[in-house]
Structure 1
Amino acid sequence: MPDALDAPWMHRDDLAALVATLGNGNARYVGGAVRDTLLGLPVKDIDMATVLRPDAVIERLNAAAIRTVPTGIEHGTVTAVLPGGPVEITTLRHDVSTDGRRATVAFADDWREDAARRDFTINALYADPTSGEIFDWFGGLADLAARRVLFIGDARQRIREDHLRILRYFRFQARFGSTPADDEAEGACAELAPTLKGLSRERVGMETMNLLGLADPAPTVQRMHELGVLAVILPEADPVALTALVATERAQDIVPDAVRRLAALLPAQPALAEQVAARFRLSAAQKKRLALAAARDGQPGDPRALAYRMGREGALDRLLIGGADVSALDGWDIPQLPLKGGQIVARGVGAGPDVARILRRVEDRWIAEGFPPADRIDALLDAALAETAG
């Protein structure tokens, strides 16, 4: 691991202006931006810690015409809205009290004390925005180099402070960790897994979906199953099905999708899928998609026919969960049936249910023939009309 942090994003003009506004030595980069830069990964979010109180942060930024949003002002967080993207700035803190769901904090002046309240050693790395000097009080650099995900201090105490750290542990283990995992961390997660029941369903759902959206969460989900953690948050899950889906996705170079992975974990029961979607507080669109995937029955069939009848996304879910080849959908635009009800009426069929039946009959044959061009429709319609007349 390098001794100092340096990356193109650190040289943005808007960040330099922000650092100058906060004052030399008053702020440091912290958490994911530092960790991911050290690993050579893209940085999505930039967080800063500061010795300044929130009102002082807002006052300084307003004076510099930098727009602020009090996103978590009760916990000391102010978001600076910059041209290159938002930056969350949080005053140094220490915990006054915690109950596993929420914490009461007090502002602090000690950088190490702020680091000590964080979850994992690899997330407690700070960097000076000017010199790039890295501050590491708990061995995070060594753990990052060894791909170890370790709680800071006593794992059980960290989890008792915030029960969601159990799921965060497995997400970080899936993303950064090596095997075998840390015995103390896994033991603490297994022992305290029942505390997850006290968290909001939305928080559990969000953390679970974040895990499922990673490149390969299958081994971690299997380990959660073995430790009894998965049974607390998703007792219906079958980790074996997720392993098979991830293998199919990789073989066909398919981008990971958390909703599809969740659908694979669940049995083919639409009502149950809707219950899980409600439990995880998923959106209406995600709930519909889960139920559609859960309506699978046996082999998914012809990919293009499936995509025509239920949409590309729904077809991909069914096909991939079923272990099928989806290459037939590459570059293929779902066509529209080149026949309208008015054309059938013009052939002498009275408006009403007969028109709908003939339209469906033509459509079924058109699909079965592989969506032939429009000039084939007349022959298909002739055949359908002849059968109806007969």
Structure 2
Amino acid sequence: MRLPDAPWRHWEGMGVLLDALGADEGGARFVGGAVRDALLELEVQDVDIATVHAPEETARRIDAAGLKAVPTGIKHGTVTAVLPGKRTIEVTTLRRDVATDGRHAEVEYTDDWKEDAARRDFTINALSADPVTGEIFDYFGGLDDLAARRVRFIGEPLNRIAEDHLRILRFFRFHARFGEGAPDAESLGACIARANDLMALSRERIADELLKMLALDDPAPTMALMIERGVLQPVLPEIVTAGPLERLIARENLFRHSSFRWNDALNSHPLRRLAALLPPDPETARAIAARLKLSKAQRQRLAIAAARMPGDTATPRALAFRPGIESAVDRLLLCPTNDIVVGRALETLAANPPPERFPLKGADLIALGVEPGPEVSRLLGELREAWIAEDFPGEDRVREMAQAKISGS
């Protein structure tokens, strides 16, 4: 089998890089996801190259060819080559594991392509290809697994998980993306047996892997399997059912191509999907977001989404003004009511979004006779709430409301 031709193989500067690495003499190969995705006729975004050259020699060759070499991970054997247009390719020296502890690996360089391939997690990720001839190198049955849409660990699954505990979550993510039918039984059994190993991982790594999985087209069946078999229990015991996620994905698909799609807010989003898996309680969502070390913005969005309630569909414009369009759409899509009611709320929001800002400022109230100080802030807050309650009337009406407030105070 040969690697199919594809635009990424002809990126500007790719030929210069391959020549510098001696690809025509077997000094470099395409490896990993680019090979896998090309064989599946998927779009390739990231390209990795493995080489027999030591990282310092790799950097020297890249610089000598007129490209830029960045030592992004040179102590682990990786040099990033910057092609014209600032496109980047990671070039990594062939390696073999010397010691692992479930989180990190100590490696040595090698010139053995099979040894390097054996370090990878799944057979479909261990494929490599000659950049010149397109010849595929498959040491562990990856081509057969790719054809069967089967995700399978290289070698003994329990050993591969012991090397890096994150491979448990990666197994399920790759099955959700590439797998068909039931997961590989031996690999699944090992993940279930070693689920407690997830507790040794940093929460950032868990969050990153989980959000990547939730960004896939339809992770719900795989997520349901993980919940059923207790895989998430050690680190996310609050997730007990995938039912709300299944309903959310169905609703996303229903509305994604609707006539009221006014921006990208209706696109699927992993944080919204995570919110679907969590109880509808903002405090619980904040606690989980903190545990997963999410960013401040991510924590806020997750908590707002978790505050969803049936009444959200009755006031979509007010909902969108307070937390913003994205969070309003999150709440509406997660709303525990029927699709027709949600659709009407989204139509209302698309046809008539709320204003961007309250039309009055503190200076306006002072000009109307309010003494500078705390009273200005108090009145602004009251007027803003009354303005929202009246469905955002124009500035003239707001000034009337202000006059009435001032006169009555």
Q: Given the two structures, how large is their TM-score scaled by the length of structure 2? A: 0.87
CA 1:202–1:349 in 2, change beyond 3 Å: closer, same or farther?
A: closer
2-structure distance, mates of 1:157, 1:193: 14
5+ unaligned residues in a row in structure 2: which ranges? 257-265, 337-341
AA partner of residue 241 (structure 1): P
Partner of 2:263: none
CA 1:106–1:346 in 2, change beyond 3 Å: closer, same or farther?
A: closer
Q: Are 1:5 and 1:38, in contact at CA under 8 Å, matched by a contact in 2?
A: yes
- 3-state secondary structure, aligned to 1:95: strand
- 3-state secondary structure, aligned to 1:299: helix
Structure 2 residue 17 is matched with structure 1 residue 18 = yes
- 3-state secondary structure, aligned to 1:157: helix
AA partner of residue 132 (structure 1): G
1:355 deviates by 4.7
Structure 2 residue 348 is matched with structure 1 residue 328 = yes
2-structure distance, mates of 1:171, 1:97: 26
- CA deviations on 1:292-337 (whole Å, 9 max, x unpaired) are 3333455324111111122222222222221534333337363322
- 3-state secondary structure, aligned to 1:179: coil
Partner of 1:248: 251
1-structure distance, mates of 2:253, 2:209: 23
Partner of 1:93: 95
Q: Are 2:309 and 2:335, in contact at CA under 8 Å, matched by a contact in 1?
A: no
- CA deviations on 1:166-211 (whole Å, 9 max, x unpaired) are 0000110111111122111111110011111112222112111111
Q: Given the two structures, how large is their TM-score scaled by the length of structure 1? A: 0.91
- 3-state secondary structure, aligned to 2:106: strand
- CA deviations on 1:247-304 (whole Å, 9 max, x unpaired) are 2222211322112222222223333322222222211221222223333455324111
Write out aligned runs for 1:146-225 (5 A): 146-225=148-227
- 3-state secondary structure, aligned to 2:284: helix
Structure 2 residue 44 is matched with structure 1 residue 43 = yes
2-structure distance, mates of 1:207, 1:63: 37
Structure 2 residue 332 is matched with structure 1 residue 313 = no
5+ unaligned residues in a row in structure 1: which ranges? none
CA 1:355–1:70 in 2, change beyond 3 Å: closer, same or farther?
A: closer
1-structure distance, mates of 2:368, 2:98: 80
1-structure distance, mates of 2:174, 2:377: 54
Write out aligned runs for 1:229-308 (5 A): 229-238=231-240, 239-253=242-256, 254-300=266-312, 301-308=314-321
Which of the residues 131, 137, 147 maps onto 2:133? 131
Q: Are 1:307 and 1:334, in contact at CA under 8 Å, matched by a contact in 2?
A: no
CA 1:198–1:341 in 2, change beyond 3 Å: closer, same or farther?
A: closer
CA 1:246–1:349 in 2, change beyond 3 Å: closer, same or farther?
A: same
Worse overlay, 13-22 or 251-260: 251-260
1-structure distance, mates of 2:348, 2:8: 40
1:214 deviates by 1.5
- 3-state secondary structure, aligned to 2:251: helix
Q: Are 1:122 and 1:143, in contact at CA under 8 Å, matched by a contact in 2?
A: yes
1-structure distance, mates of 2:17, 2:184: 39
Q: Are 1:362 and 1:381, in contact at CA under 8 Å, matched by a contact in 2?
A: yes
1:154 deviates by 1.9
Q: Are 2:308 and 2:334, in contact at CA under 8 Å, matched by a contact in 1?
A: no
Which of the residues 352, 376, 383 maps onto 2:397? 376
Partner of 2:229: 227
Partner of 2:260: none
Structure 2 residue 67 is matched with structure 1 residue 66 = yes
AA partner of residue 317 (structure 2): R
1:74 deviates by 2.4
Worse overlay, 293-302 or 348-357: 348-357
Worse overlay, 245-254 or 161-170: 245-254
- 3-state secondary structure, aligned to 1:40: coil
Structure 2 residue 358 is matched with structure 1 residue 337 = yes
1:356 deviates by 4.6
1:157 deviates by 1.8
Structure 2 residue 16 is matched with structure 1 residue 4 = no
1:361 deviates by 4.4
Q: Are 1:79 and 1:86, in contact at CA under 8 Å, matched by a contact in 2?
A: yes
1-structure distance, mates of 2:63, 2:385: 64
AA partner of residue 370 (structure 1): D
2-structure distance, mates of 1:243, 1:196: 25
Aligned length: 387
2-structure distance, mates of 1:3, 1:65: 30
Q: Are 1:5 and 1:134, in contact at CA under 8 Å, matched by a contact in 2?
A: no
AA partner of residue 313 (structure 1): E
- 3-state secondary structure, aligned to 1:70: strand
- 3-state secondary structure, aligned to 2:108: strand
2-structure distance, mates of 1:82, 1:207: 28
1:374 deviates by 3.0
1-structure distance, mates of 2:63, 2:372: 68
CA 1:20–1:375 in 2, change beyond 3 Å: closer, same or farther?
A: same
1:53 deviates by 1.5
1-structure distance, mates of 2:347, 2:181: 34
1:46 deviates by 0.7
2-structure distance, mates of 1:22, 1:151: 30
Structure 2 residue 384 is matched with structure 1 residue 363 = yes
Which of the residues 97, 115, 118 maps onto 2:117? 115
